[in-house]
Amino acid sequence: MELLLSLKERFGMALLLITHDLGIVAESAQRVIVMYAGRKVEQGSVGDIFRDPGHPYTRGLIDAAQWRNDADGDLAEIPGSVPSLAALPTGCAFAPRCSQVMPRCLVKCPPLYKLEAGREVACFLAERPPA
């Protein structure tokens, strides 16, 4: 990782990382796109995503990367299993694993909601009520 980052700086180039290691993301990226079942579910600056994740999957990833303060020192986990890309559920692919699932999540895939500049979340929880 050190070599890649030094080459990035030396040659003034961009670096695209594909990883499940949120420690590397936090330490070396400026922007992040979180994907689930082949679809973008959240995008934004690393600071915004880690400070205030908008998608339940993103929250689960962050929680799973941190040690709990319980007596056993267990890691948090996201319940269930990743769906097969050949047999995705109707609606939001994350719905069967989501603790905040709503009835419409099971029938309709949420669009990418644009939040503040450069921030997007594909979750009905991010839907803003009409003004």
Contact 53, 42 (CB under 8 A): yes
Quote the pLDDT of residue 72.
Answer: 66
**Does residue 113 form part of some domain?**
no
Q: Has residue 131 been placed in a domain?
A: no
Q: What is the predicted pLDDT for the residue at 75?
A: 73
pLDDT at position 67: 58
Q: 82: Cβ–Cβ under 8 A, 6 or more apart, which residues?
A: 37
Q: Find the domain containing 71 and state its range.
A: 2-108+122-126
Mean pLDDT in consecutive groups of 10 residues from the start of the chain, 131 residues: 90 91 88 95 95 94 72 77 92 95 96 91 84 49
**Structurally, how many domains does the chain consist of?**
1
Predicted pLDDT of residue 76 = 79
117 occurs within a structural domain: no
Task: Output phi, psi for 115, to 5 deg.
Answer: -95, -130
Q: What's the rounded Cα separation, in Å, for the pair 36 and 55?
A: 10
